[in-house]
Structure 1
Amino acid sequence: MKDSRTHRAPWLALLLCFAFTALSATGALAKGQPRVPAPRGALAADELAHIAVFKAASPAVVNITALGVQRDLFSLDVQQVPRGTGTGFFWDDSGHIVTNFHVIQNASAAQVTLANQSSYKAQLVGAFPDRDLAVLKIDVPQAKLTVLPLGTSRDLQVGQKVYAIGNPFGLDQTLTTGIVSALNREIESVTRRSIRDVIQTDAAINPGNSGGPLLDSAGRLIGVNTAIYSPSGSSAGIGFAIPVDEVNRIVPRLIRDGRFVRPALGISAGPPTMRQALNLPKGVAVVAVSPGGPAERAGLRPFTRGRDGTIVAGDVLTAINDQPVNDLDDMLNALERLQPGDKVQVTLWRAGSTRRLGVMLGTASD
């Protein structure tokens, strides 16, 4: 009779094999499980500041799609198609939106998309191409409106933290951070007029950011992102923003009048080459005065030609309210800060002598 242990041996070996296989599978399964995340401490103070600024400001920032008209080649149907995108932000609780003029330039219409992805057709309220600013308006419930707190640009300092929010390359609600890299820069508008006192920043600004807000660390509006300096067309660490003090001077007048009405002296300026040719001082050489206009009424005299062909000296405007005027841009910048009907003191140079006259400003039609 065989020992029963002899019969149990194969079964025992088989059970041990199964047990080993099960243990091996269990170990493999454990190795393939997702890892447990390691706990982290509190967010750093600067991270919390970034988050707070974005959460508060992003609902005020909108995506603007400029629309153009396209006619189908075969059916001749006319439809609106996207021409480009940009950024804007709510200026007030009436639905006015500030953006760059070049964002909507040559567009037949514009569509505004809010942070919650709802879209509205926009109306153009007014534009001032010389400063690359435009105001749109949408009809939207006030409950959906968030207005950025207004800051000031006159006390900005190089090195302070700034934030830019926009829609670069169509990627909406993008936050970038940086510092004020420089102040009092000068760039050229679409009309080739100089935009002065511009803020330079290294916060990444790319195509699509145009018209978006530049914010300080308190989340206040301090500028409107308008341009980049880059050989490639993308961010190279040099971006520019129109200072908010300039924006706050222009936008209310666009909302009120639908356009920016610059007061006028009623003069025509000679070309820069004229000053060099006649060895004139820095300023604006008057070559014509509007009949019955402010300058003529005040006694300004233009340069003319005598019967013998010689130049008869006229006035060179060198200052307005004691603010030096070196060229036509200076004169226009000074006038933009005034209103039709304001009385100003102009400083004039004529044939080596200087005098001051009071002039009451008119409108561009004067």
Structure 2
Amino acid sequence: MAASSLISTSFHISCSSGSPNRKLTINCFLPKSFSLHKIPTPTCSPIQSHKRPLIPYRSSCPPCLYKLLLTAKNPFSPAFDSLLILCTSLALALSLFVADVDSASAFVVTPQRKLQTDELATVQLFQENTPSVVYITNLAARQDAFTLDVFEVPQGSGSGFVWDKNGHIVTNYHVIRGASDLRVTLADQSTFDAKVVGFDQDKDVAVLHVDAPKDKLRPIPIGISADLLVGQKVFAIGNPFGLDHTLTTGVISGLRREISSAATGRPIQDVIQTDAAINPGNSGGPLLDSSGSLIGINTAIYSPSGASSGVGFSIPVDTVNGIVDQLVRFGKVTRPILGIKFAPDQSVEQLGVSGVLVLDAPPNGPAGKAGLLPTKRDTYGRLILGDIITSVNGKKVTNGSDLYRILDQCNVGDKVIVEVLRGDQKEKIPVILEPKADES
């Protein structure tokens, strides 16, 4: 800069006192950079002994200065030093005046925020998918004990996401369970009343509908979950604790896990396990892969305290896709059942056998019509065990989860061969699967 760096200046002073043969030449050099608070002592030498090329500035000294230089023991007297300081100050002022120097703010450099490539990708993913995530408020009707007035109070909240431009919102069933009214808040903070299109208690999935303008609805990209890998990076977006949209990241820490539905206890297979934080309020929110595509619905955590402990579960999108399609088209999910009630797995283990013990088989159900025997008591109060299902269509059944897993692969109207242990004998009984009574 012009203020901190000056060119080397040479002062060549010629002094004569009228005698043409007597002349003294002195050259002074200033360093290229110096401090404004401390002027370095100039280096002076006769021109005859200095070997560097000079560009002298010649001027004639008055007789008084000439005599002073001749009589002074040290040529750099205080008067001469003052002259040098004056010349240097003038040169510095001239350089600052002539140089193109901006305002003082030009010397303040604001460093640009630099993000890594993976950080930029995460920021872009959050910005692109946040408009698809909604906030759901569960309202319950309450009656005042004194005035008997009925009013609505929030009893829970959760997350959801826009499925299509028709206003369908997908979330967990336990988010809307027991609600008298539901409200959906979009990313732009606009709120709409929501109606329940349908739900699947067994898989903990529900579909809502809002009458919102299509320009406010941004469907989330739908991916696939069949080719997921452990260690793959995932992102969870939701509204934990009623806050605005938040993002948590992690990896897939396990695949093909099994959890039980919070509503019916029926097992949900092929669940995705992740260490991305899923706190209360994240339920129903989307789990995304690194490309921003939906791969699951955040539904549960494994924690005694109810806070995220690094083990969260998401329903795979391949399961959700089929459920949502049926709910949108028919308002219900048609799932086949055997029409039985069975004993807890621990009870069967105490008997020393492997299978599913039939406790009840209503006569109007598929199993009752096929002739499966329930558990009952005789006239003396003694317990007579019913049939114990050991396999279905040749697939071994050791507990209730195995039975549900096999039925999930069947359709309503299919005929299955149920092998049972009746007393000491094994029998094979054909059963025609039917839908649940409340879904027919």
TM-score range, shorter chain: 0.7 to 0.9
Counterpart Cα distance in 1 of 2:361 and 2:143: 47
1:57 to 121, 129, 150: 129
What are the equivalent positions in structure 2 for 1:188-267 lying under 5 Å apart? 188-191=260-263, 193=265, 194-267=267-340
Distance 1:74 1:279, change over 3 A: closer
Counterpart Cα distance in 2 of 1:314 and 1:230: 37
How far has the Cα of 1:243 moved from its partner?
Answer: 1.8
2:110 to 37, 51, 55: 37
Distance 1:234 1:314, change over 3 A: closer
How far has the Cα of 1:112 moved from its partner?
Answer: 0.5
Counterpart Cα distance in 1 of 2:359 and 2:111: 77
The 8 Å contact of residues 201 and 264 in structure 2, kept in 1 or not, is answered as no
The 8 Å contact of residues 133 and 186 in structure 2, kept in 1 or not, is answered as yes
Distance 1:338 1:38, change over 3 A: same
User: Which structure: larger Rg?
Assistant: 2
Which string of whole-angstrom CA distances, capped at 9 and with x for unpartnered residues, describes residues 296-342 of structure 1?
44444445667787776753222233333222343234324433212
Matched letter for residue 243 of structure 1: P
For the aligned residues, what is the CA RMSD? Answer: 3.1
Q: Secondary structure at the match of 1:48?
A: helix
1:345 to 390, 410, 417: 417
Structure 1 partner of 2:151: 79
Which string of whole-angstrom CA distances, capped at 9 and with x for unpartnered residues, describes residues 335-362 of structure 1?
2443321222333334455454432212
**Structure 2 alignment gaps of length 5 or more:** 1-102
Q: Which moved more, 1:204-213 or 1:227-236?
A: 227-236
Q: Secondary structure at the match of 1:130?
A: coil
Structure 2 partner of 1:93: 165
Distance 1:306 1:105, change over 3 A: closer
Distance 1:95 1:275, change over 3 A: same
What TM-score results when the alignment is normalised by the length of structure 1? 0.79
Matched letter for residue 407 of structure 2: L
Structure 2 partner of 1:130: 202
What are the equivalent positions in structure 2 for 1:306-317 lying under 5 Å apart? 315-317=387-389
Counterpart Cα distance in 2 of 1:255 and 1:211: 17
Counterpart Cα distance in 2 of 1:230 and 1:169: 16
Matched letter for residue 166 of structure 2: S
Counterpart Cα distance in 2 of 1:182 and 1:338: 26
Matched letter for residue 246 of structure 1: T
Counterpart Cα distance in 1 of 2:306 and 2:107: 43
The 8 Å contact of residues 176 and 182 in structure 2, kept in 1 or not, is answered as yes
Distance 1:287 1:157, change over 3 A: same
Distance 1:302 1:51, change over 3 A: same
Distance 1:344 1:142, change over 3 A: farther
Counterpart Cα distance in 1 of 2:347 and 2:275: 40
Matched letter for residue 186 of structure 1: E
Q: Work out the number of aligned pairs and report it.
A: 335
What TM-score results when the alignment is normalised by the length of structure 2? 0.67
Counterpart Cα distance in 2 of 1:76 and 1:305: 48
Q: Which moved more, 1:91-100 or 1:340-349?
A: 340-349
Counterpart Cα distance in 1 of 2:348 and 2:144: 54
